[in-house]
């Protein structure tokens, strides 16, 4: 889904940049002969507090993180695809009578007035026909995915990458970017219902995909930070010590068992939010079952996170690896485990599949 496009004439590959509240992730995909693809990828922490509730508070700090990351990971491209925080984007699937492209283009603003709870002058609108519908006699309706993104947020995120020396070419929605990455690496089985979860620091994106088509998206306003905060509140742990507990690394101090039980509880609280979202999906769309959970996002690497999730939901659960079919080169700066990059880079890998001017 293209929301803004640059002025480049030929479609060129883009660098996927996922600006998260705790870390920036970047992925560049290059063909390396035959069907082999090399991913140059990396991530870098952004200073705490520079992005709050999806709003860029300290643009220079975030731009610096992007600039340093691209240099250190040796990512050469400067035309980039970005994703926006969920609060700035509304995606709605709407049904309309079957019509021509021109008719659709003519009536989409009117439809948007009815379905999008933002002033139209404040958003960039985009749409994609998901299902053209049937012939005139049977008249099943046409299904159109309508996306509206706040102009001010697009401008904020575009300004970050511009300050980092890049050209913003495409803006996407994180949940859809992750879905594109999954489609490439895993494929979606016909009729299967897969819940894609991207568990970040302050948000969890849920995208439920049925036979390759997104049927439900939701952004939960909590993530790994909630565990860090619970650990800090419960005792005398510093931010760094709390992060170590989350990563399953031992603490030298006494109180480790207490910390682990606090972490377990905070993890269960997060999973309860996921469960409520699944319940909401089940109530809103028959038959509402989920066949598989694909887990990604940095927080999904947390100690006990995946096993707690497997325990709560009686559904097969796998970790999504955006690099399963690609050879990865590049740097993870300030992170210890390559699995952390694979977990965190799903959205950026999906963004890197975009081309200038595509939709
Ligand atoms: N190995 C690990 N174990 C536990 N937690 C981890 C691990 N690696 C990263 N995290 C946690 O994952 C979170 C960061 O993940 P991610 O990079 O996906 O978030 P983000 O995109 O910056 O956040 P958001 O999208 O919510 O703004 C942080 O809370 C971090 O503590
Ligand atoms: Mg994120």
Phi, psi of 333 (to 5 degrees): -100, 125
Do 187-319 and 1-88+152-186+321-359 fall under one CATH topology?
Answer: yes
**Distance from the alpha carbon of residue 217 to the mean position of ligand 1, in angstroms:** 20
**Distance from the alpha carbon of residue 94 to the mean position of ligand 1, in angstroms:** 33
**Distance from the alpha carbon of residue 348 to the mean position of ligand 1, in angstroms:** 14
Q: What letters, b where the CB count within 10 A reaches 16 and e where it falls short, cover 284-305?
A: eeeeeebebbbbbbbbbbbbeb
Report the CATH superfamily, name and number, of domain 187-319.
Answer: ATPase, nucleotide binding domain (3.30.420.40)
**pLDDT tens for residues 103-117?**
999 999 999 999 998
The mean of the pLDDT values for the chain is 88
The whole-angstrom separation of Cα 11 and Cα 350 is 17
- Strand 193-199 to strand 142-150: parallel, antiparallel, or no bridges (unpaired)? unpaired
CA 62 to each of CA 46, 181, 317: distance values in angstroms, whole numbers, following the listed order: 6, 24, 33
Nearest atom, ligand 1, residue 296 CA: 18
Q: Is the pLDDT of residue 31 over 90?
A: no
**pLDDT tens for residues 317-345?**
999 999 887 777 766 555 567 788 999 99
The domains of the chain are located at 1-88+152-186+321-359, 187-319
The contacts of residue 190 (CB under 8 Å, 6+ apart) are 211, 212
Nearest atom, ligand 1, residue 336 CA: 1
Instruction: Report residue 229 as tokens.
Output: 């905060």
- pLDDT for the residue 358: 64
Nearest atom, ligand 1, residue 344 CA: 18
**Distance from the alpha carbon of residue 119 to the mean position of ligand 1, in angstroms:** 33
**Distance from the alpha carbon of residue 111 to the mean position of ligand 2, in angstroms:** 30
Domain boundaries 1-88+152-186+321-359, corresponding CATH code: 3.30.420.40
Protein residues with CB under 6 Å of any ligand 1 atom: 20-23, 200-203, 223-225, 243, 246-247, 297-299, 301-302, 340, 344
**pLDDT tens for residues 175-233?**
999 999 999 888 888 889 999 999 999 999 999 999 888 989 999 999 999 999 999 99
Mutate to test the pocket of ligand 1, among 46, 175, 224 (most ligand atoms within 8 A of CB): 224
């Amino acid at each position: 889904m293209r929301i803004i496009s640059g002025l480049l004439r030929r479609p060129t590959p883009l660098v996927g940049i996922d600006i998260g509240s705790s870390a920036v992730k970047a992925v560049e995909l290059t063909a390396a002969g035959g069907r082999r693809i090399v991913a140059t990828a990396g991530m870098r922490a952004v200073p705490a507090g520079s992005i709050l509730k999806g709003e860029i508070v300290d643009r220079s700090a975030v731009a610096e993180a992007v600039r340093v990351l691209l240099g250190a990971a040796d990512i050469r491209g400067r035309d980039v695809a970005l994703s926006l925080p969920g609060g700035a984007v509304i995606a709605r699937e709407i049904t309309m009578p079957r019509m021509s492209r021109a008719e659709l283009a003519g009536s989409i603003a009117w439809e948007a007035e009815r379905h999008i709870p933002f002033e139209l002058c404040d958003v960039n609108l985009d749409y994609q026909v998901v299902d053209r519908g049937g012939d005139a006699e049977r008249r099943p309706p046409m299904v159109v995915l309508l996306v509206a993104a706040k102009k001010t947020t697009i401008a904020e995120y575009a300004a970050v990458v511009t300050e980092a020396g890049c050209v913003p070419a495409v803006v996407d929605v994180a949940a859809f970017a992750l879905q594109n990455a999954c489609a490439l690496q895993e494929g979606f089985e016909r009729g299967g219902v897969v819940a894609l979860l991207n568990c970040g620091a302050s948000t969890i994106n849920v995208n439920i995909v049925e036979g390759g088509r997104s049927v439900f998206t939701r952004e939960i306003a909590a993530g790994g930070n909630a565990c860090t905060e619970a650990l800090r509140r419960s005792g005398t742990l510093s931010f760094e010590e709390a992060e170590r507990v989350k990563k399953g690394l031992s603490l030298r101090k006494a109180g480790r068992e207490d910390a682990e039980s606090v972490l377990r509880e905070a993890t269960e609280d997060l999973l309860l939010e996921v469960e409520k979202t699944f319940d909401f999906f089940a109530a809103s769309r028959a038959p509402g079952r989920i066949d598989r959970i694909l887990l990604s996002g940095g927080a999904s690497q947390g100690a006990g996170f995946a096993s707690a999730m497997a325990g709560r939901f009686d559904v097969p659960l796998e970790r999504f690896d955006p690099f399963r079919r690609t050879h990865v080169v590049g740097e993870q700066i300030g992170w210890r485990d390559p699995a952390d990059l694979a977990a965190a880079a799903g959205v950026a890998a999906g963004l890197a599949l975009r081309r200038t001017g595509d939709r």
